[in-house]
């Protein structure tokens, strides 16, 4: 029997994914690296550092470790400034009702996000107290597509991985959930082709 549901944050609960894109695009343009929405899909769900590695694959020159650390920090500064615009109105349509529905069904709830800005985002959108536990990229050394974030969420909830649903919008997140031995609900166009157990365009429309 399913006992818990772990929600990804960016792209599932709130659409901060376009802020990530705008911040990375600023860095890419400045560094002369080709970058567009199609390439941005590869960055969804993966850590900041790994995102930068992927972005720089098309760079015209190699980068030193110190330069990379500086670029990642700059990207985060731009992203954090954009996050100031975030309010509870930015929670995606139907999401609050859907979380309530999951709770009424007796499921324990968690956030499982790669983002080290998770606490700040939850605060901005007024959901800091909504979930039984919150696991982020700051709690693990291996981010998605490794299963660690989701396994830690299950451990904290006291449930077996096989009794957990994971809701994800990113291919890296679906891969992480599958490696954790969990069942997946894919939302959005980017995960249609990576075979989640269930799929819908938005969380509000997903069947539970």
Q: Which residues bind ligand B16 (CB under 6 A)?
A: 8-11, 17, 20, 43-48, 51, 76, 113-117, 137, 144, 170
- String of contacts with Mg ion for each residue 14-53, x by CB under 5 A: -------------------------------x--------
Q: Does residue number 175 form part of the binding site for Mg ion (CB under 5 A)?
A: no
When asked if residue 185 is in the footprint of Mg ion (CB under 5 A), the reply is no
> Taking every pair of C-alpha atoms in the chain, what is the biggest distance, in angstroms?
54
In the complex with ligand B16, the residue whose CB is nearer, 4 or 174, is 174
Distance from C-alpha of 122 to C-alpha of 111, rounded to nearest angstrom: 10
Q: How far is the CB of 121 from ligand B16 (least distance, A)?
A: 8
Which of Mg ion, ligand B16, none does residue 76 bind (CB under 5 to 8 Å by kind)? Answer: ligand B16
Least separation in angstroms between CB 160 and ligand B16: 22
């Amino acid at each position: 029997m399913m006992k818990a549901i772990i929600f990804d944050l960016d792209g599932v609960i709130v659409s901060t994914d376009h802020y990530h894109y705008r911040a990375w695009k600023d860095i890419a343009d400045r560094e002369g690296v080709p970058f567009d929405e199609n390439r941005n899909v590869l960055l969804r769900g993966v850590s900041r550092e790994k995102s930068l590695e992927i972005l720089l694959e098309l760079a015209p020159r190699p980068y030193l470790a110190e330069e990379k650390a500086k670029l990642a920090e700059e990207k985060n500064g731009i992203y954090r400034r954009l996050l100031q615009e975030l309010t509870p109105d930015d929670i995606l349509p139907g999401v609050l009702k859907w979380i309530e529905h999951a709770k009424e069904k007796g499921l324990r709830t968690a956030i499982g996000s790669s983002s080290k800005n998770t606490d700040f985002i939850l605060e901005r959108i007024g959901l800091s107290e909504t979930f039984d536990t919150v696991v982020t990229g700051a709690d693990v050394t291996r981010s998605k597509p490794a299963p660690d974030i989701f396994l830690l969420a299950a451990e904290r909830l006291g449930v077996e991985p096989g009794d957990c649903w994971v809701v994800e919008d990113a291919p890296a997140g679906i891969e992480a959930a599958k490696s954790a031995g969990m069942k997946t609900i894919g939302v959005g166009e980017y995960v249609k082709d990576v075979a989640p157990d269930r799929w819908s365009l938005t969380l509000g429309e997903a069947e539970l």
